[in-house]
Structures are given as C-alpha cells and as structure tokens.
Amino acid sequence: MKIDSTLITLKQVVENNYFFNIPIYQRLYVWEEEQIKTLLEDIETSCEKELFYLGGVLVVENEKLVDGVVYDLIDGQQRFTTLWMIAIVFGGDMNPFIERVEKDKNRHRVTFAIREDIYQFFKEHISGNKFQGATSYIVNALSLINTFREEFERTDPGKAQKIAKFIFEKVKLIFTEVPKQTDLNKLFEIINNRGVQLQHHEILKAQLINKLLPEDRLKYSHLWDACSYMESYVEKNIRDIAKIRIQDYFDNANLGEEKLADSKNVLKAITSLQNTSFKPLGLSEILISNEAFEFSNVVEKDDYEADEIRSIITFPMLLQHALRIYLVNKGEGDLNKILDKELLNIFTTYFFTDSKTPDDIKDFISLLWRIRYLFDKHIIKWVREEDSETHLICKLEKYESKGNFYLRRRKPTSNEGEALLQSLLYHSQQITTHYWLTPYLNYLNNHDGKNGFDYLKKLDNYLLCSSNKNSLASRTRSFLEDENYTTILSTAELTETLGTSFPHYWFYKLEFILWEKYGSTKGERWKNFKITAKNSVEHISPQTQKATDTNTVSDGMLNNFGNLSLVSRSINSEYSNLPFNEKRQRFINNNKLKLDSLKMDIIYENETWSDSIAMEHQNKMIELVNQYLGL
C-alpha cells in the first residue's frame, strides 16, 4: 500500500482545489481556549521566520470534482478547522482558503458531514450575518480568534494582515493521503494508539449513514446519536440533539403506545424542524413587531427532569442485541457470540451483505430506536442515591406546571420485583454481554412492553434453571424464535456437595424468591432488600473448626447448600474461620438497618447450628425454589 506525504501550504491547497470534509465518525470541533491560544501565539512568534511547520493531516479521497478533490479528514481535523476559522476571522490573503466562489453557491473549504446546521452557521457568519446553530466550542473559538485579531491591530496596525499572509504562504502542513482501498478500521486503531480511542460504533455509523440518500442522513444520524449516549435517557438525548419538544410526543395514559417510542413520529418531528425556515430578526425589529411569536420549537431548559444514570451495558452491546432481534425478524442467522471488540466484524458478516439496501439500514436504525426506548423504560440503570448507586427502573411521566407540560423520570417509592429480578440477572451473569436482554427486549418489542415482568420471570427460569447446557447465545436464540419456548427445569444441583464451586446464580435466585415470598411481611429490612455484587461462597460452619466450637457440622454437610451463603469478599475476609456464634453476632450487629443476605438472616435466626439444622434449612430453601419453578 502506497502512502504519499508532502509538505503543503494553504496557498497550495487553494491552487490544487482541495476541499475537506469532517466525516460523521469524527468528533465535532472541541478545541478549547488553551489550545487555540497556543497555536496563535506560536504563529505570532514564528511570523518573522521563513517557515512554520504546524504538523500533519491525514486524508482519504471522498469525491472527485470537475475541478478539484474533496478529502475526508481522518486525522488533524481540530488543527485544520482552527486554521479555517482563523481565515474566516482574519480574512485578507487567507480569503481564498475560506471558500471557492461557484455558480450555484460558494463551496466552503471545510464542511461537516450531514451537519446542515453547522454549514448554515458558517455560511451566515462568512457573510457577516449572525445565525444560531453552532456548538459552543465553535462560537468560543471564533470569539477568541477575533480577540487576538483585535489585539494585533491595536498594538500594531496591519499586523493581523501580515500574520494572515504568513499563515497562508509560509505555514506548512504534512499532507498525507492514503489510498481509497485502505482498511480504515486498522488505520484508526493505529492512529488511536496515540490518543483517545475512536469508537468502533462511530465508524459503523459512518458506514451505515453514508449509504442513505442525502435527505435521510441527518434524520437517521440524530436517531443513532440519541441511542448511542448511554449515560442519559434517550428522550433527553433526542431533545438535546434534534431540538424537538419531547413532551408533545408522550402521554401517561398510552401505556406501551407512546408516540415517542415510534421512530416514525420522531423522524417526522425532525423533518418538520428541518423544513421550518424563518428570517432572523434583530432586537429592534422584535420590539417594534406587531406579530405574535410562537416559539413552539424552542426547548426549555427546565422541561425535563432526570437523575444521573449509568447504563448496565455499552452502546456496542445494545447494537448487537438489536442486530440479533433484527436478524430473527428477517428470518436470518444469529450471531455466534456478542463481543464488544468485534462490533465491526460482526456487522460486516451479518449485516453488510449484497442484498442490503438503504431501506434495510433505515429499518435497522428505526428498530434500534425502539429497542433503546424500551431499554430505558423497562431495564434497570445505575442511579445515584446519596453517596452510592443502586439499580432502579425510573418511569417516564408527564406533568403540568403553570399551564405547561414537562417530562420527568420518577424514582420508584418502594422496592420493585422487576428491578430486583434484573439485579439478580445482572450480578449472576457476564457483566458485559447479558444475553438475557435479547429475548426480553424482543418480547417487549412484540408486546408493546406489556406483561414484561411475568415474561422475565419465565425467561429467567427456563434460560438458567434448565438442564440445557448449550451456550447462552444458542439458548437465547430458542426464545427469539419462539417466545413460549420451554425446556426441562431442574434444581438437582442444589443437592450436590459443591462447596465454593456452587454456581453463584442459585444464591442470587434464592434471595429473589425469598424477597418475593416474604418481603412484604418480614419488616422494612426485607421489604427494602437490594441484590448487590457478591463473589465469595461463605461457610456458615467454618472449614477450619475450633475444638471448643460446639455449633459445627460434619465433613459430609460442610460443603452442602444448607451450610453455605454468598457474600462479598470483604465480609468473607471478616468472617473467615470465626465460629458460628461470633459470625452470627457480627451479622446481627452489621445488619440492623439493611440486610446483606436474606438466606443468612434466616440462618442466624437459629441460636445453634448443627447437621440437622443445616439440612432442615437446605430442604426448606430447595422446597421454596421448587415451588417457585412449579416443580
């Protein structure tokens, strides 16, 4: 593969008719004051020298023009965009670098893929008009550059134009062009070894959006972007990105049928905003106007309330769950596995086939929106409470205040079974993949979110309490193909002597069953019980027993389920080989306000411990599990 690098000035860029596009997988402009000041000060210092080497840009051809070439800027876009904005502010000799005058409309030297709002902002700004639509980084950068220009002129009239001429003719960049057939995925990995990792889902977005018609790209890009940010609820994301009034698309009464859940309504709202045009007015014009202005598309800062959240999965994981649902709906194959780092390869294998059309891409992104909406409505999030985080499902609701409608995410007032069951699944399964999410989200999608908790209980039972030992990917595919899929349930494992090898799942499962059966009758500690991360199997009667301890079990009972519980490593270390009485007292002292374990709370109701008591406890716990499973 041949890669050419040459030194080039901005003057040569103009002479060669080069133009530059910032691809959609690149971050928008994010340089701050310190970086811009450093660049301008370095240029000012070097102005008396013959040349100034600024660094490099990495490009790949995007489009051949009749007279020129459009390149995608792969690397160096922040620096290059800053140079372009300097040209806009300083003018003079740099004017040809700003844009090329053409018959229909002037062609900007730098454009931002599918960002029509940014294009309009710069178009008006270059023409000397004020126009809203740019990011705060761009607005602040232009303001700072203008401050420098004014200071140059104040201290030395004509200096700003001298600097503009120097930048245009003497500042040199290392211009590196890679062939069009370059594997950009590998190239990005090499580039990103030097700094912030370019996310694979951003590259995937570019590959998908670029296949759409120009008039569809921004709309579906907004949907994608709203889905991609997992640390905030999707309705807030689309409000901030597309500037739509989300409260107009939600009604508390329409359970499972919210307009906001349907991508068609969201796309229609985005299209309506894109087609809205108006003449910007100055302050004096507004004051003397007799017209009644309706700011129906203005997003009020306080129209939405929600606590900070943290998702239980990443966006690449959500994409793969959505892809599995998409494939089963199309009657196509399934992923062999869900894997974050294989996102691009997975989509290359299962989605980018010769038969896929732009309509298929739109269908997938529309499905992704609905899956993300259902994910936010029905799936636990990490929600901050005082100095800790807990799993909650915060419902979206609409409320009225002083004649206006607003949306908020409401925290539940009491412990909820659906959230507790998902905590069980979260802590007992692989933290990254969560295969159970695919059939559960698929069910919610097919049933408008109705009866989700009942189905999740069934799914948990037949997915994880069966004798089927196939991979989770294979087992969940069975539920995707037939949501009523069943298999043989078994609790035989609970009677085995496994000791510390006992699957943690059974301890978590028992905690949920105990809470559901007794949580409302055994006091506030049981009612408010939370399933938290635990990773150590604790022996109630210790493995190393003291001769003076009479509350012990025999070797035959030591490693049975009745003599075991699941605790955190810190508690396991604290209890260690303490005798039963000391462990019991520590548990009582440490669990006066909230409980670490319901199983242990039942165990430590006993003042003594022996083979018979441990076996009685075991039999009772297994009986509860069997009843829950219907065995």
**Residue located via tokens 């960002």:** 115
Q: What is the mean pLDDT of residues 96-120?
A: 88
**How many Cα atoms are found within 13 Å in the side-chain-facing hemisphere of 81?**
27
381 or 194: which leads in pLDDT: 381
pLDDT at residue 94 is higher than 50: yes
Q: What is the pLDDT of residues 234-273, one digit of tens each?
A: 999 999 888 888 888 887 765 546 789 999 999 999 888 7
**How many Cα atoms are found within 13 Å in the side-chain-facing hemisphere of 528?**
11
pLDDT at residue 471 is higher than 70: yes
3-state secondary structure of 48: coil
CA distance 244 to 220: 14
CA distance 623 to 628: 9
Q: What is the pLDDT of residues 519-571, one digit of tens each?
A: 999 999 999 999 998 888 999 999 888 878 889 999 999 999 999 999 887 77
Neighbours of 541 (CB within 10 A): 23
Q: Which of 117, 396, 29, 342 is nearest to 232 (CA)?
A: 396
**Which strand ranges, in their side-by-side order, compose the sheet holding 309-310?**
309-310, 381-385, 388-392
Binned at pLDDT 50, 70 and 90, residue 474 comes out as very high
pLDDT at residue 119 is higher than 80: yes
Give the pLDDT of residue 110: 94
DSSP string, 247-285: GGG--TT-TT--GGG-HHHHHHHHHHHHH-------HHH
Q: What is the pLDDT of residues 484-530, one digit of tens each?
A: 999 999 999 999 999 988 999 999 999 999 999 999 999 999 999 99
115 or 93: which leads in pLDDT: 93
DSSP 292: P
Q: Which of 13, 119, 6 is nearest to 69 (CA)?
A: 13
593 or 293: which leads in pLDDT: 593
H or E element that contains 203:
helix 200-209
Q: What is the pLDDT of residues 149-191, one digit of tens each?
A: 988 888 889 999 999 999 999 999 889 888 877 776 666 666 5
**Which strand ranges, in their side-by-side order, compose the sheet holding 404-410?**
304-305, 404-410, 395-401
Binned at pLDDT 50, 70 and 90, residue 301 comes out as very low
113 or 610: which leads in pLDDT: 610
Q: What distances in angstroms separate CA 462 from CA 419, 436, 445, 458, one per listed residue?
A: 19, 11, 20, 6
pLDDT at residue 451 is higher than 50: yes
Binned at pLDDT 50, 70 and 90, residue 286 comes out as very low
Q: What is the mean pLDDT of residues 57-85?
A: 91
Give the pLDDT of residue 298: 41
Tokens of residue 482, six digits = 């037939």
- pTM across the whole model: 0.74
Looking at the chain, the number of H-run helices and the number of E-run strands are: 27, 16
> First CA to last CA across the chain, in angstroms?
65
pLDDT at residue 213 is higher than 60: yes
Binned at pLDDT 50, 70 and 90, residue 281 comes out as very low
